[in-house]
Amino acid sequence: MQRRTFLRTATVAALATVPVGTALTTSASAADIPVSSLTALQNAINSAAPGDRIVVADGTYTVPSGGALTISGKHGTSSAPITIVSQSRGGAVLKGERGFVLSNSSHITLSGFAFRQSTTLELPASCSSIRLTRNDFQFADTGDPYWVVVRSNDSKIDRNHFHDKTTAGIFLVVDGPGSTDMAQNLHILRNHFSDHSFGGSNGGEPIRLGVSGRALSSANALVEYNLFERCNGDPEAISVKSSDNTVRYNTVRDSLGGIVLRHGNRSTVQSNHLIGGEEGIRVYGNDHKILNNYVSGLSGRALVIGSGTTRDHHDGETEDERRGNDACDRALIAHNSLIGNNETLSGETRTYEPRDVVVADNLLVGDAGSLVAMGATTGFTWQSNLLWGAASDGNIPAGGFTRADPRLAQGADGVMRLTSASPAIGAATLAGTPVTDDVDGDPRGSVRDIGADEYSTAPALRHPLTTSDVGPNAP
């Protein structure tokens, strides 16, 4: 088979060279307002104008019980936000019951703080365009269970570190106004979520994007380039309970939790790495796309096409119905690589079976159990999947797969990729698949390979993320 070599039009972004935790002094500007006490900080906030940059001197600041740093009625602009920044990253430590309390404000940036408070930091629905960037979050374990709650539209949570929680609760909750709406257009980017060790069976997610009562509401959130390590507080590291979201380019490593579309419709899970943990990807709801994901070395289930206690969530259903599982209908599951997991591709046994799902051009490799162990299904399309390993084929229909050695080789980053003699090269057949590149960032071209990897001899543009790629000192 003739090998294809692709020209790259992008370059690899340079990684940060400064270790996380290093003090990085901010540069001064004409609009800088230096403060070194809580009183001076509050006064500076009260008089802040668009473009102002309030620089908080390094030190520990304990907000008195019942008090807060109030940001109310303050409005920057998209080109001139009001920025409140620690003199060095992690250098200004905020302790006490609460820190910043926001209301009726927009285009506000909070940057570089070490948050050590005991109550939730909320971005309320009365605000918009709020940014939390390059902060370190480790709230008191005995305080509120939710650390950051976002209800504001057009906000951004980027390059933060959320870590070390031992009790029930969630690092980052995304809700919205009222009881059914969702915050719109939230961008969750290059954060590091680590060491959630709550030992219960439920209630310790790093990210919960919605809740059952908001399942039918579109959020249009983008969750990308985040790293999850040792996130063991819940089987769901990214728990999606709303509609129309994109989860891409994230890495979940050595964690109990996986990526779960628990409620909602029309979300995309694309080009993520899930490596060496327990749970992989589970899918409930309608019209989702599960594309280009690399799932390897899990002790649990790599990919679950979920059954339901209800066929479809709908307006007017009971609270119990809304909290139940919505059967997976009309999903597209294509170009995923599921390699060396304890359970590879499986289903469930609830009342309502998944329907009209397309499972095509996936690479399934394993030595345990059955590679495909679906429960009841209706109207599934199985097409040009490649299976290999000591595991049995399972109950995949005979016309939906080929069994052949994919001839993989492990890269320096631990990822198993195709080699030049692989039968996966050029063997994908599903027309109209919405994938333009692979998990590495290689262009797919008009003739595509089976699995998450498109064969190329050029260096990968994307790899499983490390701590150098995320958190307060990320690029």
- Report pLDDT digits (tens) over 392-416: 999 999 999 999 999 999 999 999 9
Q: How far is the C-alpha of 80 from the C-alpha of 115, rounded, in Å?
A: 25
Domain borders along the chain are 58-64+145-469
Q: Which single residue is written with the structure tokens 């520990």? A: 60
Strands 59-63 and 332-334: unpaired
Does domain 58-64+145-469 correspond to CATH entry 2.160.20.10? Answer: yes
Q: How far is the C-alpha of 132 from the C-alpha of 469, rounded, in Å?
A: 17
Q: How far is the C-alpha of 260 from the C-alpha of 283, rounded, in Å?
A: 6
Q: How far is the C-alpha of 127 from the C-alpha of 122, rounded, in Å?
A: 10
Report yes or no: 297 and 275 within 8 Å, Cβ to Cβ: yes
Query: Could you tell me the CA-to-CA distances from 395 to 65, 77, 124, 149, 385 in Å, in that order?
Result: 61, 57, 49, 43, 13
Q: Is 179 left (phi over 0), alpha (psi -120 to 50) or beta?
A: alpha
Q: Residue 319: what pLDDT?
A: 81
Instruction: Enumerate residues 6+ apart whose C-beta is below 8 A from 85.
Output: 26, 53, 54, 55, 56, 109, 110, 111, 112
Q: H helices of 293-337, where?
A: 319-323
Q: Residue 29: what pLDDT?
A: 54
Q: Which single residue is written with the structure tokens 């294509």? A: 334
Instruction: Give the gyration radius of the chain's Cα atoms.
Output: 23
Is residue 72 within a helix (H) or strand (E), and if so which, with residue range?
strand 69-72
Residue 389: DSSP 8-state: S
Q: How far is the C-alpha of 112 from the C-alpha of 135, rounded, in Å?
A: 4
Q: How far is the C-alpha of 43 from the C-alpha of 39, rounded, in Å?
A: 6
Q: Tell me, what amino acid is at 44?
A: A
Q: Residue 121: what pLDDT?
A: 98
Length of the chain: 475
291, 297, 298, 304 alpha-carbon torsion, rounded to 10°: 30
Report yes or no: 385 and 435 within 8 Å, Cβ to Cβ: no
Q: Tell me, what amino acid is at 302?
A: A
Is residue 44 within a helix (H) or strand (E), and if so which, with residue range?
helix 38-46
Report yes or no: 277 and 256 within 8 Å, Cβ to Cβ: yes
Q: Which single residue is written with the structure tokens 């002094």? A: 25
Q: How far is the C-alpha of 256 from the C-alpha of 33, rounded, in Å?
A: 44
Residue 408 forms beta bridges with which residues? 418
Q: How far is the C-alpha of 124 from the C-alpha of 102, rounded, in Å?
A: 7
Q: How far is the C-alpha of 150 from the C-alpha of 156, rounded, in Å?
A: 10
Q: Residue 30: what pLDDT?
A: 52
Q: Please list the ranges in the chain whose pLDDT falls under 50.
A: 1-28
Residue 153: DSSP 8-state: B
